[in-house]
A = this chain, B = another copy of it.
């Protein structure tokens, strides 16, 4: 069955791989699944046709036959739960890998997203400059805790899993701010994720999509 995902017609990051379609491309590459990409403009994103697929007017979405999903975590889970190598077979280890997916999205990513709020959404406000250090410190607090847990392990819990795929994708968003490099063990963890062939294919695909000829997957 053909898989179609959506992505920004042109990502605001110009192809740095920080938009959420990259993590979905990554899990699809890990699973060895071909996929099509349908570009969505910022205008179309807020129109009824797209809102029928994604009620919050965002990307990515995932269509496969009658199944329509939005929310990158849910798409990653859907793919990971049906293909070997992304979630452990052992029940307890599997629960922990899923735990890291939720932790990445609900505990680590929210303070990181505040960088967008303070720099862009509220970038013209008089408090933006004074707030930025507070937002950065809250990110550092979370990354410090994560770094302590990771220790000198290669991945968060045994073999690479969808939990690492999510966490690496979330942490990547802190690289442009310089914060990621303040935590060498996390920077190395992210680099291990980026070194995976599946990530490299996903990154190259989004880069071509965002910088190439008229985007059409």
Residue of B nearest to A75 (CB): B99
Is the pair A98, B74 in contact by a Cβ cutoff of 8 Å?
Answer: yes
Is the pair A71, B127 in contact by a Cβ cutoff of 8 Å?
Answer: no
A15 within 8 A of partner (CB)? no
Is the pair B122, A99 in contact by a Cβ cutoff of 8 Å?
Answer: no
Q: Which residues of B contact A70 (CB under 8 A)?
A: 99, 103
**A71 and B103 contact, Cβ closer than 8 Å, known pairs A98-B78, A127-B127, A131-B127:** yes
A96 within 8 A of partner (CB)? yes
**Dominant secondary structure of chain A at its interface with chain B:** helix
Is the pair B106, A105 in contact by a Cβ cutoff of 8 Å?
Answer: yes
Segment from A141-149, A173-181, A185-193 that makes contact with B: A141-149
Q: A78-B95, A106-B106, A122-B131 are in contact. List 9 more A-B contacts (CB 8 A).
A: A51-B145, A55-B145, A55-B146, A56-B142, A67-B96, A69-B99, A72-B102, A78-B98, A102-B105
